[in-house]
Amino acid sequence: MAITKRADKGSTLTHNELDGNFTHLEKKFTITNSGSGAYVFSGGGTSSDSNPTLYLQRGETYTFAVNATGHPFYIKTVSGTGTGNAYNDGTSNNGVEVGDIEFTVQHDAPDILYYNCSAHSSMAGTIHVVKANYSIDDLSDVDTTTTAPTSGQVLKWDGSKWAPAVDNSGSGSSNTFSNIAVGGDTVGADSTTDTVTFVAGSNMTITANTTSDTITFASSGGGGGAASITSSNTAPNSPSAGDLWWYTTDGELYFYYDDGDSQQWIQVTTPGPQGPTGSVSVTTANTTPSNPSDGELWWNTNTNKLYIYYVDTDSSQWVQATTPGTAGTNGTDGATPGRNKFINGNFDVWQRGTSFTATGYTADRWKLNVSGSSSTLTQQEFTLGQTDVPNNPKYYLRLVNTTNSGAGDFVYFEQRIEDVRTFQGETVTVSFWAKADAAKTIHVEPYQNYGTGGSPSTAVAGADQSVTLSTSWTKYTVNLSVASITGKTLGSDNNDYLSILFWMDAGSNLGDRVATGNQSGTFEFSQIQIESGSSATDFEQKTLDETYSDCLRYFQKGNTGEGGTRNRHYSSIGSSICFGGTISFKSYMRAQPTITLSSHTLYGTATSVGLQYNSGIGFAIKIGTSGAGTYYTDGGTYDADAEL
């Protein structure tokens, strides 16, 4: 058996029983005619098809077995009747009516050929000449020649054509993962059944969209990350990628970065400018405040020290902010000026004299009251340089009580403070320096007098307080309650007052003052003060001028004559009463005072001296004369007394 021709793909072999050979059957179309209307094709991919469009492959040989008498079958380059434009390249028997046309399609054959009946235009069809093997570049909108494709690339539309490109979303190299590493574990894509499963942790959701082939990881709020956050002044040991470190020294935040070939802490924040300081808590207590904050202040009331709560990079503690100095003596500047309502509490002014034995005013504003006892009140001068009583007072008051035993006997001194409104309804503090010849108890008593004239309320003696004096100078303090004057009635003479009484001797008839009892002895006082409230402050220092001016409202004395001593006049008519001059008081006095004239020596015709009038701001002297002529007085003085 011999094979005479290699079979083409798609062809068949037929066994010839006569010669015992197999022959290759060419691709063959059997063609008849349907009248003059069309060729009818069978075989070669056709089946009684009228004028079918044929697709012939270059290099292949086809047989057109024509049996159409009267209808010459031509293969042409241009469709149309007649014999022109016949395409004979590789063609045999082109134009037969009955017979075979063998057509070996040339590789340079036109892409389009036609078959026609040379006599009938309706008997025609198209032949597409096609290649044996197509490249994708044969497509008109594909260009794989300008840029040759490389392995792994795909065609992508670049806006005008399909061209080779990497298989990812953008430009750059293509990355293909075959393994996914998590920590030290690796999931390898080494099997068709390998599956990577994502599990959402806290505060995270994972959603998949099968339509868009998208997996979405989303935070559902809060942190939830596993990154370590360390606040320290040193870098954390063995950090992991993504860890955060707050550097407390400089206030900077660092991120631990691992780029595959190096690891380092990278500063992710730059400290901003220092913000304004907020409010700071300040605690005054004798114990340490709990839960303090940096910068908080604490005044320790036990030690009088100020502390600040200090937080540094590695510790926190209370740090003393100040170092206290030695305690100084209390000054007077901090207390209220004019707080001492006693006038001449320092016993600086003694206009009436320096020794007294009977009831009456003694040192200015201080009144001695004696009944049945023998008492002497004197001005005493401190020893120079003494330090027993502070502030270097010059004088002190001494009261010596020698005989007393009667039930009605008493000795006390007092100061009447003008206006009963003073300290009404208040607690007052009376303080004084004092001593006695032996331990002696005295009583201090408030007394409110509503004055005279009209129908004033009855005077009120308040509860007294006792003080036991020692034999050395000591400062004593008593608190007194001064009654309210609400509902009381003042007299019309404007002479109401609050008095503070210092009882040294009080017989059994003296009512509330009985507790003092009959008592003799020597009592000495200095720097007496009364002020509002229940605490004593230091004695309020005043200048001598200040005290003297204060005293003048109640008592003053001076000369009545011209030039200080002489009061000379001339009377031509010899009147029995003649003008002797006017005297103005040194300052306004509390009330129209009682005038006492003393030491007037009469000269000339003068026979007597008296007070002509008293206006309250001054007075006039009158002089009795025996006849016309010069008369005068000399050396005269006056006392003006407006005490309560």
C-alpha atoms less than 13 angstroms from C-alpha of 477 in its C-beta half-sphere = 12
Among 220, 288, 303, 359, binds another protein (CB under 8 A): 359
Site residue total, another protein (CB under 8 A): 34
Task: Tell the smallest beta-carbon distance from residue 536 to another protein (Å).
Answer: 31
Residue 63 or 375 with smaller CB distance to another protein: 375
Please identify, using beta-carbon distances, which residue of 311 and 595 lies nearer to another protein.
595
Residue 575 binds to another protein (criterion: CB under 8 A): yes
Q: Given the rule CB under 8 A, which of 195-203, 326-334, 482-490, 594-602 is the region that contacts another protein?
A: 594-602
DSSP character string of 552-609: HTTEEEEE-SBTTTEEEEEESS--SEEEEEEEE-SS--SSSPEEEEE-PEEEETEEEE
Name which of 8, 5, 99 is nearest 56 in CA terms: 8
Site string for another protein, 472-511 (x = CB under 8 A): -------------------xxxxx----------------
Cα separation of 114 and 265, whole Å? 79
Beta-strand relationship, 98-104 and 38-43: unpaired
User: β-strand 154-157 against 61-67: which pairing, if any?
Assistant: unpaired
Candidate residues 590, 603, 628, 635; the one interacting with another protein per rule CB under 8 A: 590
Question: In angstroms, rounded to a whole number, what is the distance separating the alpha carbons of residues 199 and 587?
Answer: 103
Among residues 219, 592, 599, 630, which is the contact residue for another protein, using CB under 8 A?
592
Closest approach of Cβ 605 to another protein, in Å? 15
Chain Cα centroid distance, residue 15: 109
Stretches 58-66, 69-77, 559-567, 607-615: which one binds another protein (CB under 8 A)?
607-615
Least separation in angstroms between CB 638 and another protein:
9
Residue 505 CB, shortest distance to another protein, in Å, is 20
**Residue 414 or 531 with smaller CB distance to another protein:** 414
Mention every residue, 6+ apart, whose C-beta is less than 8 A from residue 349: 363, 364, 544, 547, 548, 551
Following DSSP, what letter does each residue of 241-281 receive, concatenated?
TT-EEEETTTTEEEEEEE-SS-EEEEE-----PPPPP----
DSSP three-state, residue 54 = strand
Cα 211 to chain center, whole Å?
54
- Near another protein in 364-383, by CB under 8 A: none
Q: Does 611 bind another protein (CB under 8 A)?
A: yes
Strand-strand pairing, 54-57 and 521-532: unpaired
CB of 247 or CB of 619, closer to another protein: 619
- Give the nearest distance from C-beta 641 to another protein in angstroms: 7
Out of 335, 460, 591, 628, name the contact with another protein by CB under 8 A: 591
Contacts to another protein from residues 420-479, by CB under 8 A: 452-453
CA pair distance 62, 277, nearest whole angstrom: 101
H/E stretch holding 549: helix 544-552
| One residue of 614, 626, 634, 637 binding another protein per CB under 8 A | 614
User: Taking the complex as a whole, how short is the minimal distance between the CB of residue 372 and another protein, in angstroms?
Assistant: 15
Q: Which two tokens stand for residue 469?
A: 């004096």
Least separation in angstroms between residue 449's CB and another protein is: 11
Give the closest residue to 399 by CA, choosing from 523, 261, 487. Answer: 523
- Cβ atoms < 10 Å from Cβ of 506: 30
Closest distance of CB 598 from another protein, Å:
7
Residues 210-229 that bind another protein (CB under 8 A): none
Applying CB under 8 A, which of residues 202, 269, 468, 594 lies at the interface with another protein? 594
User: What residue ranges bind another protein (CB under 8 A)?
Assistant: 358-360, 452-453, 491-495, 573, 575, 577, 590-598, 610-614, 616, 619, 622, 641-644
